[in-house]
A and B are shown apart, each in its own frame.
Chain A
Amino acid sequence: MSTGNMNLTLKIWRQKNNKAKGGLVDYKISEVSPDMSFLEMFDVLNEDLVAKGEEPVVFDHDCREGICGACSMFIDGRPHGPKEGITTCQLHMRSFNDGDTIVVEPWRAKAFPVIKDLMVDRTAFDRIIASGGFISVNTGNAQDANNLPIPKVQADSAFEAAACIGCGACVATCKNASAMLFVSAKVSQLAQLPQGQPERYRRVQSMVAQMDAEGFGNCTNTGACEAECPKGISLENIARMNRDFYSAKFVSEESI
């Protein structure tokens, strides 16, 4: 952990577009404050690049408070960098040391093609959600809050699954580029609540089918996703999705 200002070497993946061949490019950056966030450090770098008339580094970011899931950098071989339970925007430069070389790459998966530099196309996740990650409700007044009793344990478990921000770190770190943790979180948040029951078995079949169609790999239970997830989504969700999937395929009469 550094306290004074730092001089760093960045090795950043630069790629013009989806078709172009990319490569790591070295950048020296000096006088980096330890209180800067990782993205603020990139802002400084980009201002330098613009001032020099060079093309700034493209990267995804939005809320910068760890809740939107937009930021997506693979830093020194880990999604969202070396710290646990945070996204890249919440990573601060005090987590690095003066003189460090930091390698920054985009998420790498067939289903997440690079758009430019560090920005990848994650619309595969949107298509998985659109295939069934929702509940159908009638419009009109919201019903009374206590109309549907839900056990506390179940409500908590559903809420923990719902904490997934869909950043894709699970896919990025998985050796198989599998999206099982993401999909299982989205299946689990609804499968545990009464509102999710009518479409429960249709949903799991559709979402798994869409996940496979997008070209994500197969889960081999290494647990890397759970360890790297900024929101601590549990592997229990994957087991729950597996159970629901078997129920849907082998027991339920409804098929997609």
Chain B
Amino acid sequence: MASFGNAFSSSIGKKLIMGITGLFLISFLVVHCFINALIIVNDGGLTFNMGAHFMGTNWIIRAMEVVLFAGLLAHIVQGFRLVFQNRAARPERYAVNNGSANSKWYSRSMGLLGTLLLIFLIVHVSKFWVMSRFTGIPTVDANGNHDLFAVMVETFKDPLLVLLYVLAMVSLAYHLLHGFSSAFQTLGWNHKKYTPLIKGFGFWFSIIIPLLFALMPIVMYLGCIK
């Protein structure tokens, strides 16, 4: 890596890592959302469990899972480093700072939103991922697949957990509202022809994906999908 000089340790390089891992995590959201949306078939989870079985057994997916955790870890570690470095760049705070006059609150709160998402992820991974990979899912469905759907139904009987999931998706929406277009700016992709498209697509992506995710625990809690 020596030949790349300080490419990744410089301030621009650090942001490059945030941008690339951010876009990678965004691509993961699409896959995750699609698989989860299979519950909409409303067949007692048979289709969803098939999707979960595929995700759990396909070797390409399993390999990407490792990449995913690496990307996530890089995004989290680098994010915290940036927060602390940026705080240190202004040791004495302003008595009065009218930030809302020149920027959106969520663009100034990426560290906070990201931390909320991290807390959610710890709960989420320990509820579902640890069980499906390590401790094992207790029951199987009519097709003989592990019944992850039943675990979901059981989990989302708890209104507090449903609330946590919905609040986390609100955080995700705001995190993406800044992060999506910001990643392209960091990559140097700012152009009169493309930037309006990126911003427009990013806006709707940031609303629709978290909304779909948030709806899932809600409809299961209300018993619309069972």
Contact = CB atoms under 8 A, between A and B. Distances in A.
Contacts of A136: none
B182 to A, nearest CB: 4
A212 B188 contact: no
Contacts, number: 140
Given A103-B95, A235-B190, A243-B188, A215 B89 contact: yes
B187 A242 contact: yes
Interface in A140-181: 173, 175-178, 180
A105 B96 contact: yes
Nearest to B105: A222
A177 B190 contact: no
A11 to B, nearest CB: 8
Interface in B33-92: 82, 85-86, 88-92
Given A219-B11, A223-B103, A227-B103, A240 B188 contact: yes
A30 interface: no
Interface string A197-225: 00000000100110110011111111110
A109 B103 contact: no
A108 interface: yes
A220 B107 contact: yes
A98 interface: no
Given A178-B11, A242-B187, A218 B102 contact: no
Contacts of B98: 76-78
A176 B188 contact: no
B182 A216 contact: no
B204 interface: no
Nearest to A173: B102
B32 to A, nearest CB: 25
B93 interface: yes
A105 B189 contact: no
A110 interface: yes
B90 A221 contact: no
Contact of B107 (A108, A109, A177, A222): A222
Interface string B108-129: 1010000000000000000000
Contacts of A236: 190
Interface stretch (A33-41, A58-66, A248-256): A248-256
B92 A228 contact: no
23 contacts: A24-B95, A77-B97, A77-B98, A78-B98, A105-B94, A109-B89, A110-B90, A110-B91, A175-B90, A175-B108, A177-B90, A180-B11, A208-B10, A217-B88, A219-B11, A221-B182, A223-B102, A223-B107, A224-B99, A242-B15, A246-B16, A249-B4, A249-B7
10 nearest A-B pairs in the assembled complex, by CB-CB distance: A77-B98, A217-B89, A239-B190, A243-B188, A176-B86, A227-B102, A249-B7, A242-B188, A177-B89, A217-B86
